[in-house]
Amino acid sequence: QHVPVVVVGAGPAGLTIGAVLRAAGVDCLVLETETREFVERRPRAGVIEEWAVRGLERRGLARTLLERAQTHTECEFRFAGERYRFEYTALTGQHHFVYPQQFLVTDLVREYADVRGGEIRFGVRDVRLHDPDSDRPAVSYVCPESGERRVVRADFVAGCDGARGVTRASLPPERARVARYDYGVGWLALLAEAPPSSDCVVFGMHPRGFAGHMPRSAEVTRYYLQCPPGDDPETWSHDRVWTELRERLGAAGAPPLPEGRLIERRVLDMHGYVVEPVVHGRLFLAGDAAHLTAPIAAKGLNLALHDAFLLGDALAAHFTKGDDTGLSGYAHACLSRAWDYQEFSQWLSEVYHGTASGDPYRAGAALARLRRLFDSPTAAAEFAERYMGVRPGG
Contact 47, 295 (CB under 8 A): no
For ligand APR, the closer of residues 18 and 300 by Cβ is 300
> Can you tell me whether residue 66 is helix, strand or coil?
helix
Residue among 22, 28, 29, 32 that touches ligand APR (CB under 6 A) = 32
DSSP string, 211-270: EEEEE-SSS-EEEEEEE-TT--GGG--HHHHHHHHHHHT--TTPPPPPP-EEEEEEEEEE
Based on the shown chain and the rule CB under 6 A, indicate whether residue 65 belongs to the binding site for ligand APR: no
Residue among 18, 132, 159, 165 that touches ligand APR (CB under 6 A) = 165
> Can you tell me whether residue 5 is helix, strand or coil?
strand
Based on the shown chain and the rule CB under 6 A, indicate whether residue 160 belongs to the binding site for ligand APR: yes
Q: Name residues whose C-beta falls within 8 Å of residue 337's C-beta, 6 or more positions apart in sequence.
A: 303, 306, 389, 391
Based on the shown chain and the rule CB under 6 A, indicate whether residue 127 belongs to the binding site for ligand APR: yes
Based on the shown chain and the rule CB under 6 A, indicate whether residue 209 belongs to the binding site for ligand APR: no
- The minimum distance between CB 85 and ligand APR, in angstroms, equals 26
Based on the shown chain and the rule CB under 6 A, indicate whether residue 11 belongs to the binding site for ligand APR: yes
Based on the shown chain and the rule CB under 6 A, indicate whether residue 274 belongs to the binding site for ligand APR: no
Q: Name residues whose C-beta falls within 8 Å of residue 10's C-beta, 6 or more positions apart in sequence.
A: 30, 31, 32, 34, 39, 105, 109, 120, 122
For ligand APR, the closer of residues 84 and 339 by Cβ is 339
Q: How many angstroms separate the CA atoms of 120 and 32, rounded?
A: 8
Size of the site for ligand APR (CB under 6 A): 27
Paired strand residues for 271? 182
Paired strand residues for 9? none
Quick one: which segment of 11-19, 71-79, 171-179, 202-210 binds ligand APR (CB under 6 A)?
Answer: 11-19
Quick one: which segment of 4-12, 48-56, 63-71, 115-123 binds ligand APR (CB under 6 A)?
Answer: 4-12
For ligand APR, the closer of residues 18 and 215 by Cβ is 18
Q: How many angstroms separate the CA atoms of 21 and 39, rounded?
A: 21
Query: Within positions 289 to 318, which residues make up the interface with ligand APR, using CB under 6 A?
Result: 300-301, 304
| Phi (first) and psi of residue 225, to 5 degrees | -130, 125
Residue among 6, 13, 53, 311 that touches ligand APR (CB under 6 A) = 13
Residue among 162, 196, 209, 389 that touches ligand APR (CB under 6 A) = 162
Based on the shown chain and the rule CB under 6 A, indicate whether residue 53 belongs to the binding site for ligand APR: no
> Can you tell me whether residue 193 is helix, strand or coil?
strand
| Phi (first) and psi of residue 154, to 5 degrees | -145, 165
Give percent helix, percent strand, percent coil of the chain, each to the nearest 5. Answer: 40, 30, 30
Contact 47, 303 (CB under 8 A): no
Residue among 17, 23, 33, 202 that touches ligand APR (CB under 6 A) = 33
Quick one: which segment of 162-170, 191-199, 222-230, 344-352 binds ligand APR (CB under 6 A)?
Answer: 162-170
CB atoms near residue 135 (< 10 Å)? 8
Q: How many angstroms separate the CA atoms of 101 and 254, rounded?
A: 29
Residue among 3, 6, 7, 10 that touches ligand APR (CB under 6 A) = 10
For ligand APR, the closer of residues 225 and 301 by Cβ is 301
Quick one: which segment of 55-63, 164-172, 214-222, 356-364 binds ligand APR (CB under 6 A)?
Answer: 164-172
Closest CA to 319 of 152, 129, 156: 156
Which residues are near ligand APR by CB under 6 A? 8-14, 31-34, 39, 44-45, 101, 127, 160-162, 164-166, 287-288, 300-301, 304
